Structure 1
Amino acid sequence: MPRRSASGSTRAGSRLSRETIVSAAVELADREGLNALSMRRLAQQLGVDAMSTYYHLPDKNALLTAMADAVVAEIVPPPPTDAPWTEELRALITAARSTVSRHPWAAHILEQRQEPSPAVMLHIERVLAVMRRGGCSVALGHHAIHLLGSRILGFSQDLFDDKAAPAPPPERIEQWATAMPHIAELAAQVSHQGPLGGCDDDEEFAFALDVLLEGLERRRT
């Protein structure tokens, strides 16, 4: 393979933009996972010198934030309908889940952020707009943001990540049976195979969302 000349690298760098870099990073993370992403690896994919990327994004943390924001920006809200506000909000959150599920690494970045990005703020604005149109008070909308938490963005932050370790073997469950019979019963019957980690498969996510929306509607009335 012929070596890229310095002038060729410079010309490639001049065509770089923040959007081009972020798009390439998203593609790389989708294809190879977040652990494969580095500024050097990204520059290789773009065919530029690594320093060229730092002109647009100062460090990897800024890149990760921009990547997560780009994913959230992909969320397409369903068209307005005459359905109850709970159904409209369920459809919006389901659209968010569908988007984040296409980029499972994004959930990990989003749950680490201390401040909402511009795209996340816009998505929260949509959530609040649905609730206000449905007759919810400002206070109830405020409570809902805290109550729904990461589910607004289509994934759940659980107390433990039960995908981090393999399922307990039968002999371990038998050991639990005497001292912790209910945990043993649960471990023997339940498994989770969702794409976003923890107890976040589609059935669990939908169940939790239903319970939360039903509770919010009772509060509204």
Structure 2
Amino acid sequence: MQETGRERLNRAKVLQAAIELADEGGFDALTMRRLATQLGVVPMALYKHVSDKDELLDGMVDLVFAEVEMPDGGDWRAALHTRCSSMRRALLRHPWAVGRMETGTPGPENLRHHNAVMRCLRRDARFPFRMAVHAYNVLDAYVYGFALQEKTLAGDIPAEAARRRTAVAERQPAEIDDYPYLGEVVMELARTGFNFADEFEFGLGLILDGLGRSCP
């Protein structure tokens, strides 16, 4: 997104441009100078809208929260399933946000989101306060942890497993038979494939089923 010097700059444009740059190269590669160039302004113009890079990150994270579907009444299990799946998809779109969603100063979308999840747990699921906190923590630990794994693991798991097995065989060919279960992984995943979304749904279902059994 390119801005000309004649167009009026505002905070929304700054944050959207920052997200686009971070989506492309990661947050660590995002600099105020590069952001200013993207917007067609001098770097000092940005500081009228964000005081520093930390405030920039807070605003960017708030926009990611705005993309996540919040639970809004009805069946609590279905609502939380939708929310967690939506969060995973948002983090796939914005991998730079993995590990940064619960840091910094929360913005209005962040606060609305957290309030909606707690409302679902307390009002709709009728969990006692401490149980609601436990549930929220385990759901976020799963979603954020899965997003980190999905971000860092090779996209083609079967091919990566085969590559590692080949590397082991080349180093220690006489010992390859010592890894029969690794061999099974390579053979079976090559046959059936590996789908991150399916794995996510399986784990999320286990967690929600467990929480359901704890529901008063």
Q: TM-score range by the shorter chain?
A: 0.7 to 0.9
Q: 1:134 aligns with which of 111, 120, 125?
A: 125
Letter of the 2:136 partner, please give it: I
The answer as to 2:216 corresponding to 1:202 is: no
**Are 2:77 and 1:86 equivalent residues in the alignment?**
yes
The answer to which of 155-164 and 114-123 deviates more is 155-164
1:150 to 1:68, Cα distance in 2 relative to 1, 3 A: farther
**2:181 equivalent in structure 1:** 182
Deviations 1:159-211 (A, max 9, x none): 993239981524235457444443443355448877xxxxxx21111111111
The one-letter amino acid of 1:122's match is: R
Cα RMSD (Å): 3.5
- 1:1-221, aligned counterparts within 5 Å? 9=5, 15-30=8-23, 32-34=24-26, 37-77=30-70, 80-81=73-74, 83=75, 85-110=76-101, 113-115=102-104, 117-118=106-107, 119-132=109-122, 133-151=124-142, 155-158=146-149, 161-163=152-154, 167-168=160-161, 169=163, 170-172=165-167, 174=169, 177-190=176-189, 201-221=196-216
- Whole-Å Cα distance in 2 between the matches of residues 220 and 138 of structure 1? 12
- Relative to structure 1, is the Cα distance of residues 155 and 184 closer, same or farther in structure 2, using a 3 angstrom cutoff? same
Q: Secondary structure at the match of 2:68?
A: coil
The CA distance in 1 between the partners of 2:176 and 2:62, in whole Å, is 45
Against the structure 1 CA distance between its residues 188 and 181, is the aligned structure 2 distance closer, same or farther, given a 3 Å change threshold? same
Contact 2:91/2:98 (8 A) holds in 1 = yes
Task: Return the alpha-carbon distance in structure 2 between the equivalents of residues 121 and 40 of structure 1.
Answer: 30
Ranges in structure 2 where 5+ consecutive residues have no aligned partner: none
Task: Give the superposition deviation at 1:28.
Answer: 3.0
Higher helix share: 2
Give me the whole-angstrom Cα distance separating, in 2, the residues matched to 1:187 and 1:94: 28
Q: Tell me the TM-score normalized by structure 1.
A: 0.72
**Residue identity in the other structure for 1:123:** H
- Give 5+ residue unaligned stretches, structure 1: 1-7, 195-200
- Quick check: 1:148–1:212 contact (8 Å CA) kept in 2? yes
| 1:7-49 deviation digits (Å, cap 9, x = unpaired) | x95x65xx3222221012123334x332653211211121110
Percent identity over paired residues? 31
Which whole-Å deviations, capped at 9, do the CAs of 1:105-164 have from their partners, x for residues lacking one?
322543xx5456233343222222112212222111111122122445695344993239
Structure 2 Cα separation of the partners of residues 115 and 180 of structure 1 = 45
In 2, the alpha carbon distance for the partners of 1:147 and 1:208 equals 12
